[in-house]
Structure 1
Amino acid sequence: MKARTAWVQRFQSSRTGVALHEKPLVVSTAILFGLGVCASACGSGASQEEPAEEVPPADGDPGDSTGGGEDPADPVDASSFSFFVTSLESMRELSGSANGFGGDLRFGEATGIEGADKICRTIAEKALPGSGQKVWRAFLSASTGGANGGALNAIDRIGEGPWYDRNGLRVASNKAGLLTARPQGSTQIKNDLPNERGEPNHQGVDNHDTLTGSNKQGQYAGSKGNTCNDWTSATGSTGKPAIGHSWPRSANNPSNGGNWMSDHQAPGCAPGVNLSQNGPGSGSPTVGGGGYGGIYCFAINP
């Protein structure tokens, strides 16, 4: 009681103007401490709940048309990047020529297929450091290199999927999603397949011709002329390589010149860049009938 009486006297003195120096601070601290003890011990009814655990959103259903990671602003790492069309800028840089590689894709390797894979790996690493550690495969067919010494089919060399572009948008969930006129992935990219920067490759020019050497099942197109001598020749007269369209010829009718892996033949195997459509097999004997000799690249372990 003496302590309480002394506290009351000090408090009344402060109300009448008596200077207590640091005493009010001590009093306030004591009061706050007492209130805190009471709140916890007196059962005021206010309970402090644990914050709810934040559950990350689930990836898109494997069979949907949009896939996971639809927001291009989402952080992307090398674990999801597994598809691109080689851009004109990259093909020029790696080939050392404004006309690109043409039909000879060896790039210092023994075969055109090995060189094309190296092209994919090199561009992937430059686009997203770390992704070059993956096994990248060019979507190309050839007359040899397949099972039991037979033909090599592009569809058999790219893994099982799913595959995503640089921005995390799904290109296709599996091979069945590729064996259609347009890959059955995100609607944002299926009709304008993106380059290694994650940009629509169209870029306002007619550059949709993309080398594949394949038919509509992603298999060897049937002759070495359709593959520029298994991607070792840059001579125009060697053959007319089979190409697909990275974007449909008609935006209003994707079935018109819209098959991404096989639509027609390029005029020839020579290097060349033609950014206006010449039509199938016509014009100068270059790989650029309406393109520049670009290729598709897939990582087999996305």
Structure 2
Amino acid sequence: MTSLAAMRELSGSQDGFGGDLRFGETGAGAGLRGADKICATIAEKSMPGAGSKTWRAFLSAAAGEDGKQVDAIDRIGEGPWYDRLGRLVASNKDELIGERPSGADDAIADDLPNEDGVPNQQPDPSQPKVDNHDTLTGSNQQGRLSGPTATCNDWTSASGDRSSGKPRLGHSWPRNFGGGGGDFNMAHWMSAHDAAGCSPSVNLVDAGGPQQGATGVGSGGGYGGIYCFALTP
């Protein structure tokens, strides 16, 4: 997944991108294309040459370039997928679709790593762990579009008034190692709960969830990070 440092650098803001991931792209499907470009740019910075691969952000959208629904699980190829250090994340989609990736290396299954292969809950090993579990997906627990208001207008809006809905989030590491019921699962990597809103925000301190009046993608513990998958190992 994308680190806070990388998202700050590319967005030019200490608060990150929020729900607007266009990254210079325009027209239909700009949010998804921009997110893919973010993934490729970060991959290249971490490992020169890696940016030449085809990268896809694990994001769903109500309408892609052709106006049709886009499901994250259909964007990322068939696997296998590995992290920056060559550790297995999943061999195929069946292993991905679950509370945690069932085929993942034990070292990363419960703390999905960033572009440098570092478990994201503790991006600086010399510092304490941080509360940064919330990750943008717009997806349900099958990797498909969670709902029409779950994508910040298909990743083109960073509105602070909730007019663009509340994006669906996954948890890069299990919050309190708890499950849940229905649409609420604090351990699910691709679909845990909704964010407070689409505005840019960073919160790395456990405050028990978004505070009253919060409208940011990171208000509940995060910074608007995204998962990135290469179509080829």
User: What is the TM-score when the length of structure 2 is the normalising length?
Assistant: 0.88
Please give the residue correspondences for 1:1-302 in structure 2 after superposition, counting only pairs within 5 Å: 85-110=1-26, 111-145=30-64, 149-184=67-102, 185-203=104-122, 204-223=129-148, 225-236=149-160, 237=162, 238-251=164-177, 253=178, 257-278=186-207, 282-283=211-212, 284-288=214-218, 289-302=220-233
SS of residue matched to 1:226:
coil
CA distance in 1, matches of 2:69, 2:215: 25
Structure 1, unaligned runs of 5 or more? 1-84
Aligned residue identity for 1:239: G
Give 1:239 deviation, angstroms: 1.3
CA distance in 1, matches of 2:95, 2:206: 28
Deviation string, structure 1 residues 209-256 (Cα, Å, up to 9, x no partner):
000000000001111x210000000002121100000000024x4676
SS of residue matched to 1:243:
strand
CA distance in 2, matches of 1:254, 1:239: 25
Change (3 A) 1:104 1:279: farther
Higher relative contact order (CA closer than 8 Å, sequence separation 6+): 2
SS of residue matched to 1:234:
coil
Give 1:150 deviation, angstroms: 2.3
Once superposed, which parts of structure 1, at least 4 consecutive aligned residues long, lie more than 2 Å away?
Answer: 253-256, 276-283
Change (3 A) 1:268 1:277: farther
Percent of pairs identical after alignment? Answer: 63
What is the number of residues matched between the two proteins? 215
Aligned residue identity for 1:243: L
Aligned residue identity for 1:190: A
Deviation string, structure 1 residues 250-291 (Cα, Å, up to 9, x no partner):
24x467611000000010100000112455665410000210
Question: Are the counterparts in 2 of residues 265 and 280 from structure 1 also a CA contact under 8 Å?
Answer: no
Provide the residue aligned with 1:62 in structure 2: none
CA distance in 2, matches of 1:215, 1:209: 14
User: What is the TM-score when the length of structure 1 is the normalising length?
Assistant: 0.69
What RMSD in Å do the two structures reach over aligned CA positions? 1.6
Deviation string, structure 1 residues 112-149 (Cα, Å, up to 9, x no partner):
10000000000000100111000000000000128x74
Structure 2, unaligned runs of 5 or more? 123-128
